Amino acid sequence: MTSDTLNPNPLVQALERMVLIRAYEDTLVGLHGQGRAAGTCTSVGQEASAVGVVSALAPEDLILTNHRSAGHLLARGADPGRLMAEVMGKRDGYCKGKSGSLHIASKEIGVVLTSTIVGGELALATGVALSRATLGGEGIVVCFFGDGAACEGRFHESLNLAALWNLPILYVCENNQWQAFVHRKETTLAESVVPQAAALGMDGTSVDGNDVEAVQAAAAEAVAAVRRTRKPFLLETRTYRLRGHFEPDDQSYVDPGELEHWRGRDPIALLRARLERDGRLSAAGADAIAARARAVMEQAVAFAEASPYPGAEDLTSDVYA
């Protein structure tokens, strides 16, 4: 899906990527319901955060992410077919079918790792950035994590070391209000994680994570600051996951009124409405974007299902002592 060749408007391109991410995850949920794919943690509702931040990055920048990683991977340019093959445990997946959906890594697109351990990527990002600072170069490290990880001790430890050692890390907290099955208000009185970074001597800012244009602007400034100063920065994107913690999940623990409010702030619907209102995209053009995403996913599923499973000889490959 090469949106760059379809429409030169950056916001239309952002919509293309967001729609593709949604189509990928909706497809995966559907396949799981049919018993054709494993369950996963989706990022439905958080697409503006992923696309807005990743659009500000350069090819030499490295990404570490968490269990809601599909949006980050696809925004970075990952192939939907290879992602789907990986989730299905097939040999043509990014990690040869050995990672599932929660541990995908891809050196070719600069994604160092996906960690399913809450906050695990925070600790590892410190080491990756220390290596980058030691070796030099313009590239920075971007670490995505959720508000649940911000309640972990490793959050404070990692940010403290990054600030103390002047490490070029952009920390991105996707504050989606839920920590697995526990609401954020049950775990902390703080409305934002930015003051916690400030207490460690780190600059930061908070932005509406469902407004991709606002995220793009904030991310561009944050990335520029990290690149210029070689010091860490915290960007908080305030968003919401519209599906449960892990598929399947009926979200019976969620206040229906709260869920309905955030469905009204669906980032894809908001961006589409803005583009149509401003005359930058027609309704037919928006429908065509959705149709292209569905076609891409049909091809991705066909590719993944045709891919072979790893053989017995793969059991000990890519294993290091």
Q: What is the pLDDT of residues 240-259, one digit of tens each?
A: 999 999 898 989 999 999 99
Q: What is the pLDDT of residue 97?
A: 92
Q: What is the pLDDT of residue 6?
A: 57
Of the candidate ranges 53-57, 146-150, 169-173, 280-284, the one whose mean pLDDT is the lowest: 146-150
Whether 1 has a pLDDT exceeding 70, the answer reads no
> Which has more confidence, 279 or 3?
279
Sheet with strand 233-238: strands edge to edge: 111-114, 62-65, 141-146, 169-175, 233-238, 203-208
**25-303 CATH fold:** Rossmann fold (3.40.50)
Task: Give per-residue pLDDT as tens, 302-312.
Answer: 999 999 999 98
Taking a C-beta distance cutoff of 8 angstroms, is the pair 47, 72 a contact? Answer: no
Task: Give per-residue pLDDT as tens, 171-187.
Answer: 999 999 988 899 988 98
How far is the C-alpha of 298 from the C-alpha of 92, rounded, in Å?
A: 17
Task: Give per-residue pLDDT as tens, 61-81.
Answer: 999 999 999 999 999 999 999
Q: What is the pLDDT of residue 321?
A: 67
Angle at 248 (CA atoms; ends 299, 27), nearest 5 degrees: 15
**Model-level pTM?**
0.94
The arithmetic mean of pLDDT across residues 25-53, rounded, is 94
Handedness of CA 35, 37, 43, 47 (dihedral sign): negative
